[in-house]
Amino acid sequence: MTMDLCEALKSATKEAHERAENTQFMRNFQNSQISLEHFKLLLESLYCIYVALEEEMERNREHPALSALYFPGELHRVSALEADLQYLHGEGWREALRCPPATSEYVRRLRHVGSEQPELLGAHAYTRYMGDLSGGQVLRKLAQKALGLPASGRGTAFFTFPNISSSNGFKQLYRSRLDSLELSQQTRLQILDEANRAFQLNVEVFEDLQRLGPSALRNGSSVPE
C-alpha cells in the first residue's frame, strides 16, 4: 500500500530536515547565539521568500493541487514580516532590503514552479509553513531573549500565527488536506523531490546568511526603543 502523502513527505525529507536544523546558522539560533544583524538578515531574506511563495499561491489558488492548501488568513507571513522589518529597521526598510544570492535562487525556483509546475508549489508551502508552525514558538522566545526584543511580540511577529489557535490542530488539518489531494504517481514523486529541493534551498540560504553576517553590517544595529 502506498503511504499517505504526508507520511511520505516526512520520511523523504527526514535527512534534509536534519541538515537544515544543523546548519551553523540554525544551531547558533538554537543556542541563543544569534546577533541582531543576523536576525535582521534572516527576516529580510524570509520576506523575499514569502512574497514570492504567497504571490504564487495566490495566483494559483484555484489549481486542483493547491486549493485545499490555500489558507491565507491563517498562514500568510508577509504582513507580519513587514511589521517586524518596519520595527527593526524603521522607515526606509523597503529601499534597503537585502536579498542575498541564495535567497534570490530560492525566489527564482518559487517563481518557476508557480508559473511552470504549480502542482509542485504545495511542496514549498509544506516545507515552510509546517516548519514555522512546528518550531516558531521556541524560536520566538529564543530571539526575544537573545536580542532583548519585547515580549509584546514586536520584531518577532513572523513567529506567531494569531489566526491559529492550536498549531497542532492546524497541522493535523493541513496534513489531512495534503493527504486528500488527488495526484498521479508521477506528480506525487515530483512533490517529494521538490520538498527535498525546498529544504536544500533553505540550507543554502542559511549558509549564505551565516557567511554574510556582520560583514554586511549597516550602521545602527541596536534594538529600537
CB burial readout 142-175, b (16+ within 10 A) else e = bbbebbebeeebbbbbbbebeebeeeeebbeebb
- Cell 520538498 belongs to 195
Q: Which amino acid does the sequence have at 176? A: S
Q: What is the smallest separation between the CB atom of 90 and ligand VER, expressed in angstroms?
A: 28
Measured from the CB atom, is 93 or 158 closer to ligand VER?
158
Q: CA-CA distance, 91 to 203, in Å (whole number)?
A: 30
Q: What is the smallest separation between the CB atom of 73 and ligand VER, expressed in angstroms?
A: 20
Q: What is the smallest separation between the CB atom of 13 and ligand VER, expressed in angstroms?
A: 7
CB atoms within 10 A of CB 184: 9
Measured from the CB atom, is 26 or 57 closer to ligand VER?
26
Measured from the CB atom, is 161 or 199 closer to ligand VER?
199
**Angle at Cα 36 formed by Cα 79 and Cα 27, nearest 5°?**
95
Q: What is the smallest separation between the CB atom of 212 and ligand VER, expressed in angstroms?
A: 17
Measured from the CB atom, is 26 or 36 closer to ligand VER?
26
Interacting residues with ligand VER (CB under 6 A):
6, 9-10, 17, 20-21, 26, 29-30, 126-128, 130-131, 134-135, 199, 202
Measured from the CB atom, is 30 or 117 closer to ligand VER?
30
Q: What is the smallest separation between the CB atom of 143 and ligand VER, expressed in angstroms?
A: 11
Q: Looking at beta carbons, which residue is closest to ligand VER?
A: 131
CA distances, 126 to each of 122, 146, 174, 211 (Å): 6, 28, 9, 27
